[in-house]
């Protein structure tokens, strides 16, 4: 006689503290990617995305029940609340942006921005948004 047991995949919680938001206008746009595909510009390919209001220059984004895996996060301050990151003529963001694990300079890269969720853990990361161009 054979016996099989099915175990549920371990789930994690991620808290993202976003800082550096200027002014009371606009929203925070966010995208959590689980693969390199589309990172950082094609938000429709993100694992989860959305927008939030904020106050006092900061906000908190919480993801519950994340499967084990590798992720990278991008956030932006949509100052004019038009639902997108405004860019200049060469495609650089004119609004403040931030990426997980990322230095201030350099082209965004999933391998540099990634972090791992190992199941049944609660992880907190901090992302500060800054204007690069504008």
Per-residue pLDDT tens for 1-30?
444 444 556 789 999 999 999 878 899 999
Q: What is the pLDDT of residues 35-55, one digit of tens each?
A: 999 999 999 999 999 999 998
pTM here is 0.88
- Indicate the pLDDT class of residue 104, thresholds 50, 70 and 90: low
Q: Is the peptide bond preceding residue 29 cis, with omega within 30 degrees of 0?
A: no
What are the residue boundaries of the structural domains of the chain, listed by start?
11-128
Q: How much of the chain, in percent, has pLDDT values that exceed 70?
A: 88
Spell out the CATH class of 11-128.
Answer: mainly beta
What is the four-CA torsion angle of 26, 84, 74, 64, rounded to 10 degrees? 70
User: How far is Cα 38 from Cα 94, in angstroms, rounded to an integer?
Assistant: 20
pLDDT at 132: 79
């Amino acid at each position: 006689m054979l016996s099989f047991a099915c175990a549920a995949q371990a789930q994690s919680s991620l808290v993202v503290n976003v800082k550096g938001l200027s002014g009371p206008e606009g929203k925070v746009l966010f995208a959590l990617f689980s693969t390199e595909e589309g990172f950082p510009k094609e938000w429709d390919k993100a694992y989860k995305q959305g927008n939030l209001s904020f106050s006092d220059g900061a906000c908190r984004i919480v993801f519950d029940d994340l499967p084990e895996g590798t992720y990278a996060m991008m956030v932006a301050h949509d100052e004019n609340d038009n639902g997108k990151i405004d860019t200049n003529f060469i495609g650089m963001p004119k609004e403040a942006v931030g990426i997980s694990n990322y230095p201030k300079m350099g082209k965004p890269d999933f391998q540099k921005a990634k972090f791992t969720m190992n199941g049944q853990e609660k992880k907190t990361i901090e992302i500060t948004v800054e204007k690069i161009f504008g």
